[in-house]
Amino acid sequence: MISKKDDVGGLLADYIRQGAVGASLAFATAGTPTVTATAGVADRAANTPVTPEQLFKIGSCTKTFVAAALVRLAEDGKVELGAPISTWFPDLPGAERISVRQLVNHRSGLPEFEYDIPMDPSRVWKPSDLVEIAYKAGGQKMPGGSAVYNNTGYVLAGMLIEAVTGQSLGAYVRQVVLQPLGLSNTWSPATEPFPAGQLVRGYFHRPPPAAGASADIASGGEMWRMDGVLPYSDELQDSSDTFPYSGAYGCGDMVSTPTDLVAFMRGLFAGKVISPRWFEEMFGSRALVSFPGTRMRETGAGLFQSSYGDRAFYGHQGSIPGYVCVMQHNPESNLTIAMASNIGSGNRLSFQASGLHEVVDKAIRSILA
């Protein structure tokens, strides 16, 4: 009889045959141990296989950890989620109208920095530098309106956590999230040392744009400013070091394993990080969103409702040059699943950027069959 792990392993093998480099997937249901499957290579030059203990950059899945840490501060009475952020950022334009809660629910109206940050592998960014880039880019809106995906809010959330706790963001996330859940393979490299030797190499697809192709991100335009760092090429290029961790900080710097991500999501939904009442700050009061090129349909605070395997799952997805990750939980079936890949692209519509989502779809259907 073919096991669910064998089924998932076959799906990962197909994914590699289609052009991916390496992948790791973990899942668990109620009362069962976590199952992990891997395929492909962690380093193309060395031809080393991916193993369950190896780290992947998880990109925006970082946001769920940071949102949970911020809500934990509120549960402990150290910050009021409805308070204006001007208490901590008095010189920030419009800060008196933006609440702490809005930093992590994508309704702050803050301008965005991600598409304008220069890719400088040698640069060590301060969080305030990222906020400055956002305001130079412009586009600030009134808070409380439609949800618009925003990284700047999570940078400010990290800065706020550091100001309130007197700890680095990574140290506080470790104290209130990672250690209580026993997550030994998750790190915040922007603010703490980590075992870099465990990290898989990341590979990026940046083909020359077609004549007359749209530059709009939702239509396949490039997300990141790669000129001067990676040339156009039809071949995959090693992009492991193109986006420094300090340039991602509280919106995307973390590294982890799918096994740890499954444990995190299960612990979060089980009330082991914040109490059920406070978990509603993340899970409840969701707003409809339209983020072209993603599965996200509703946003809470650090948690999105997305459709996978024809079911409503809750979690996050993330990408950073050369890596794509997704972690999801379905309360109805109590299935938690996470997958990470060391391939990526600035084109959200490409196989390299979005191919793993179909693998997750198929894995869910197989596991729940």
Is the predicted pLDDT of residue 219 greater than 90, yes or no? no
| Model-wide pTM > 0.95 | yes
Please give the share of the chain, as a percent, with pLDDT higher than 90: 90
The β-bridge relationship of strands 35-43 and 22-28 is: antiparallel
Please give the share of the chain, as a percent, with pLDDT higher than 70: 99
Is the predicted pLDDT of residue 1 greater than 70, yes or no? no
Residues paired with 361 in a beta bridge: none
What is the tally of helices (H) and strands (E) in the chain? 9, 14
For residue 251, what pLDDT is reported? 98
> So where are the chain's domains?
4-368
Whose structure tokens read 């209580």? 180
Is the predicted pLDDT of residue 273 greater than 80, yes or no? yes
Is the predicted pLDDT of residue 212 greater than 90, yes or no? no
Average pLDDT over residues 62-74: 98
How does residue 51 score in pLDDT terms, banded at 50, 70 and 90? very high
Average pLDDT over residues 246-265: 98
For residue 2, what pLDDT is reported? 54
- The per-residue pLDDT for range 323-337, each reduced to its tens digit, is 999 999 999 999 999
Higher per-residue confidence, 240 vs 218: 240
For residue 84, what pLDDT is reported? 98
Average pLDDT over residues 32-47: 97
User: Which of 126-130, 281-285, 292-296 has the highest average model confidence (pLDDT)?
Assistant: 126-130
Regarding the domain delimited by 4-368, which CATH topology (the fold level of the hierarchy) does it fall under? Beta-lactamase (3.40.710)
Average pLDDT over residues 84-103: 97
The DSSP string of 312-350 is: EEEEEEEEETTEEEEEEEETTTTEEEEEEESEEES-TTS
Do 186 and 254 meet the contact criterion of CB atoms below 8 Å apart?
Answer: yes
For residue 290, what pLDDT is reported? 72
Interacting residues of 189 by C-beta distance below 8 A, sequence separation 6+? 170, 196, 245, 253, 254, 255
Is the predicted pLDDT of residue 53 greater than 50, yes or no? yes
Average pLDDT over residues 310-322: 97
Least confident of 42-51, 151-160, 214-223, 262-271: 214-223
CA distance linking residue 176 with residue 171, whole number of Å: 9
For residue 191, what pLDDT is reported? 98
User: Which of 2-6, 121-125, 211-215 has the highest average model confidence (pLDDT)?
Assistant: 121-125
The DSSP string of 188-211 is: -TTTS---GGGBPP-EEEEPPPPT
